[in-house]
Structure 1
Amino acid sequence: MKRIQVDNPQAFAHMVTAHIQQVAEGNDREILIGIPGGRGAVAVVAGVLECQDALLKRIQLFLVDERLEGPTNLETLLDVGLSDAIGTGRLRSSQIQVLALDKPFNSTGRPLDLLYLGVGEDGHVASLFPGSYPALDAKDISDTALVEDSPKPPPTRVTITYRGLKTYAKRAQVYLLFFGEGKRLALDRFLSGNESPSTLPCIYFPREWFSVDIVTDLKEAVG
């Protein structure tokens, strides 16, 4: 696991482009990318859209959670660049897969190549909040789950489950994004390694031996 230090979230966009190019090298298949909503999505979307048109047409984006009330994560992604790309013909709306309870996370069953997840102040990823583990990692749980009591608004959401992450992201390169001063405590807790996914959901990935790196604009404490 590496710590990738960036000056600001926007600086990560070029790295996202490089990740995609590396996955695409030597093949012509589709590239499957898990993408968050919220602030963490801005740099990821920018990196996706930096790809040349021929490569961009091979990309499938999969939202890892969706709000069922108020402004949606899809709307956020559209607002930060995807709408313009669709309008100019660089991207098709069918290349964006929105999470829903009435369909599997990925109907093709193919695993993700890359997964980017913003980490919240409480260590949550997607809409997997503290207390969601181990129930949403049970063997009989679906790829997706309804969240009706989210501790941050809106309360009602649909999320990929830990079981879904195991199914679709075990072979992916995972990047956990700790952007902004408000994420410092979550990052410190993550690096301490003293907690479990039930109290700090983002620690699920190293505990379950995913290939995971952390990305942050937070400087390490000195002294």
Structure 2
Amino acid sequence: MSTNKITAASRKDEGKGASRRLRHAGQVPAIVYGGDVAPQSIQLDQEKTWVASQHEWFYSSIMDLEIDGKVQRVLLRDMQRHPYRQLIMHLDFQRVSENEVIRVSVPLHLVNAETSPAGKTASVVLTQELNEVEVACLPGKLPESIEVDLSNMQMGDTVHLSDVVLPEGVELVAKIDDEHNPAVAVARHARVEAEPEADEAAEGADVPAAKQDAEEK
């Protein structure tokens, strides 16, 4: 499991006014909480944080959060964005303990789709129905993503969540049974739309010749 690092600074000013001033200064107000330590208000560089937020790991991986030179291991738990500007309004980070089980939504990545029997068939379309799944594990076992192997997928096949092979030490949070076993990937026939000329000819063929003459007159 790779480690990603982000840098922050502690802050004392709180409230809406202080957060507004931070944003105008190119900073992101945030808070880090959890563990045996009191919640701490922090601030991060807006531009650097925005760049980090474009990566998948920012949302599903444990990060090293450096605050005033001291590192804490955290997970992103909430992110507020501006409704239409490329601007992060606020972030919530949770401290993690190596000995405590955490629950995190992890991305699902489809692999070997192109080499599968379904993927090699021109008339078949492979679609991903589920993009992420919530898992429970110790921090040291948390995967950045979970691969779903489609190498044996045939036309008409459906890969369900129960078919996904989880890494060692990782469990699904949701219970899988006959009533709850969502599809992860499906191989379907591609829809072929009829050509307009053929449709028009067919419509004309259904109308009696006498009626067509009357309509033309």
TM-score, normalised to structure 2's length? 0.22
More strand by share: 2
TM-score, normalised to structure 1's length? 0.21
More helix by share: 1
Return the structure number with greater relative CO, CA threshold 8 A, min gap 6. Answer: 1
